[in-house]
A = this chain, B = another copy of it.
Amino acid sequence: MAANPVHAAVEDQLLARFAAIVGARNVLTGEAEQAPYLTEWRGYYRGRTPAVLRPGSVEEIAAILRLANETGTPIVPQGGNTGLVGGQIPDESGREVVLSLDRLERIRAIDAEGGTITAEAGVVLERLQEAAAEAGMLFPLSLGAQGSCRIGGNISTNAGGTAVLAYGNTRSLVLGLEVVLPTGEIWNGLRGLVKDNSGYDLKQLFIGAEGTLGVVTAAVLKLFPRPRGQAVAFAAVPDAAAALKLFRHARDAAGSGLTAFELMPRFLIELLRDHLPGARDPLDNPHPWYVLMEISSGRGDADARELLESALSAGLESGTVRDATIAASLDQAKLFWRMRHAVSEIQKHAGGSIKHDVSVAVEKVPSFIEKGSAAVSALIPSVIPVPFGHLGDGNIHFNFTQPSGMDRKAFMSRAPEVHAAMTDVVVEFGGSIAAEHGIGRYKRELLKSVKSEVELEMMRKIKRAFDPHNILNPGRVI
């Protein structure tokens, strides 16, 4: 171990004590075995660590945190390592120990009657969706990384995704939590109650706290009846304002049955057509903007399709919809969704991309897109604005792709200016600089610049009260 200079920072003795807790084979110190835990998939964050700990139980996690708290050892909890803001990657100091939840992957209970599932933090989201489906129920959380992200991470980041419109963020899917506190105490808050006003609603503190206040080890989550029918369509619209009008038509037609409403500019359709196997241009002619919309029905497919057709007809009549195609089969519906979920990854084929995960009030989305695009185009002429995402939630992934021909590095070096310009626009619109991906390390300084001192101080007070030695995910969020 002495051969690796990283270990200099943490005494071998300390590692031995961690090994005594989790077993030597669950303490990863070799470069190759550590690698998957130290690099973010896009390559934006890369860190060093004396050890990756892979505990197998809640009690082991409690013992790890007790020891860390006693010795002042910084701990970085990690789920599926799909976070986009550097929250789950250790820093460059080589001091931060990674605590992986990937061995806690048991589904402890599933209760279709009662509509709950109790899962450990390391359960991969897709497996949770499948377990719910096998029980005849729906776990609605759905996002691009669902094949590898883990539910503990989803909870700790209050993940959003494409089903928020009808089912809410992860926060609204959580009924109860089990959490190990920074001091090593275990809080059993695994309740499955819809209504419980018995004291402060402590679970809310840990949801979205990005692992800075405690390590979520298990959760009771809500299941929903599976919709009996669904219909999915791509609709072409001339601009974002028309997309917003279509959103209203769809909501009018389907109410809470409108389960997804995703905006995409033409640029993404072309990238998908060219780079995603099986993808194709959904409509005969090109259009500047597309909406992927899904309507669910408790009555059946025919009913869902009827509602979807009625929303699209209203749109065609009022001139907001230029063309549309309803998925003719389940396979086609799956393809449409595969296209949507591939959107984040596909952008790498177009070179550098400066990204923003922001939100504004829904009705402000069109003017926000206009203002944001103009602000950045003024900095970098012929930049390609790529705003897309959850229009129905006001959550736009406001990315900017480099002008073709521009040097990637030169473009990416403009990121700070672009971020500053976008932050100004977000603040002007009363929006959020971090809609669904969180703060992590990426937006920590930015957070300080947009939040009031009163708010920052409240956050610090909570952090100090729960984690007096600042051992849990230090340098993230607050």
List residues of A (173-226) whose CB comes within 8 Å of B's CBs: 181, 185-189, 191-202, 204-205, 207-209, 213, 225
Q: Is the CB of A433 within 8 A of B198?
A: yes
Q: Is the CB of A435 within 8 A of B196?
A: yes
List residues of A (398-437) whose CB comes within 8 Å of B's CBs: 430-437
List residues of A (428-478) whose CB comes within 8 Å of B's CBs: 430-439, 443, 447, 450-452, 454-455, 458-459, 461-462, 464-466, 477-478
Q: Out of B361, B430, B450, name the residue touching A198 (CB < 8 Å).
A: B450
In the complex, per-residue mask of A388-405: 1 if CB is within 8 Å of any chain B CB, else 0? 001001110000000000
Q: Is the CB of B455 within 8 A of A461?
A: no
Selected interface stretch from A10-18, A31-39, A41-49, A250-258 = A250-258
Q: Is the CB of B363 within 8 A of A114?
A: yes
Residues on B with beta carbons closer than 8 Å to the beta carbon of A364: 114
What is the size, in residues, of chain A's interface with B at 8 Å between Cβ atoms? 83
CB of A331 within 8 A of chain B? no
CB of A146 within 8 A of chain B? no
Q: Out of B115, B194, B452, name the residue touching A164 (CB < 8 Å).
A: B194
For the complex, give the distance between the alpha carbons of A359 and B451 in Å. Answer: 38
CB of A298 within 8 A of chain B? yes
CB of A360 within 8 A of chain B? yes
25 contacts across the A-B interface (CB closer than 8 A): A114-B363, A115-B362, A158-B201, A169-B195, A172-B172, A181-B458, A186-B454, A193-B431, A194-B393, A194-B394, A195-B390, A195-B393, A195-B432, A196-B435, A197-B432, A197-B434, A197-B435, A197-B437, A199-B455, A199-B478, A200-B213, A225-B255, A252-B298, A253-B298, A465-B465
Q: Which residues of A line the B interface, CB within 8 A?
A: 111, 113-116, 157-158, 160, 164, 168-169, 171-172, 181, 185-189, 191-202, 204-205, 207-209, 213, 225, 227, 251-257, 298, 359-364, 390, 393-395, 430-439, 443, 447, 450-452, 454-455, 458-459, 461-462, 464-466, 477-478
* 8 closest A-B pairs by CB: A255-B298, A204-B204, A196-B432, A198-B434, A461-B465, A465-B465, A195-B435, A195-B395
